[in-house]
Amino acid sequence: MSNSIQPAETDRYGCAIRLRPEHLTFRSFRDAWRSVAADDLYSLKRHQMALKAGSCDCETLWPDWAIIEDEYAELGFAAPTGTDSLHITWSAEEYFPVISDLRDRLRTQCQEAE
């Protein structure tokens, strides 16, 4: 289900890119970091899951955003008292050190599957 009237964007494999759900979209300046945190966590999880599954089908490449709900809350990203420093620290330790390699490995996996 899309929350936009625009046609869905597709990735390099022709899969529809799932839009971030409304409850994970924050528009105020103070909370904008929460949207970025959701995007980063989703990207990390979806790459890890697709590599683990060894699959390049669209449902595997773009799973439901529910896959991050629990961890998003556990990391404090959903907490009213949370600040962007939570995301900065997490991304420096957990996201940026691995995401490039995950993207490269998934690209290789999916190109070989074509």
pLDDT value at residue 8: 79
The yes-or-no verdict on residue 43 having pLDDT over 80 is: yes
pLDDT value at residue 2: 46
User: Quick one: DSSP state of residue 2?
Assistant: -
pLDDT value at residue 27: 93
In this structure, are residues 3 and 19 in contact, taking their beta carbons and an 8 Å threshold? yes
What whole-number percentage of the chain has pLDDT above 90? 89
What whole-number percentage of the chain has pLDDT above 70? 93
pLDDT value at residue 3: 52
The yes-or-no verdict on residue 110 having pLDDT over 90 is: yes
| Sequence ranges of the domains in the chain | 22-113
Q: Model pTM? A: 0.91
pLDDT value at residue 112: 83
Strand partners, 16: 10
Burial of 109 from C-beta contacts in 10 A (0-12 / 13-18 / 19+): middle
Confidence of residue 6 (pLDDT cuts 50, 70, 90): low
Mean pLDDT, residues 5-26 taken together: 89
Distance of CA 32 to the CA centre of its chain: 15
